Structure 1
Amino acid sequence: MNELYHSFKTIGLAGKPRNDVNLQMHKNVYHWLTERGYQVLVEKEGTETLELPSTALAT
């Protein structure tokens, strides 16, 4: 796991949550990754739907 951690610093989340369960899962994954020091990028629609900070916006 340590080798993998050092390999990746930025991770992109893709997908369109279509219901509350999936929406919460995307939020949980985003926060889990950021708490562990990863930069997480999400498509524009995802950042708006998930109410994430603009720093998460993938351009």
Structure 2
Amino acid sequence: MGEVAEADLAVLVGVISDQKTVHDISHRTSCRALGVSEAWFYKWRRRPDEPTKREINR
């Protein structure tokens, strides 16, 4: 993925998190509305800022 695509994904995670914080909308509801799985959201939410060794090798 390119830098723009990863930035968009980071924004999407932020939007889902903000919905819970600001509007008390569950992550499940936000994920369904935006067409992503909860597993994907939780994976990306705890993703490190730096790429992993595996990602670098790919």
Q: Same fold (TM over 0.5)?
A: no
Larger Rg: 2
TM-score relative to the length of structure 1 = 0.40
Higher strand share: 1
Higher helix share: 2
For CA contacts below 8 A with separation 6 or more, give which structure has more relative contact order.
1
TM-score relative to the length of structure 2 = 0.41
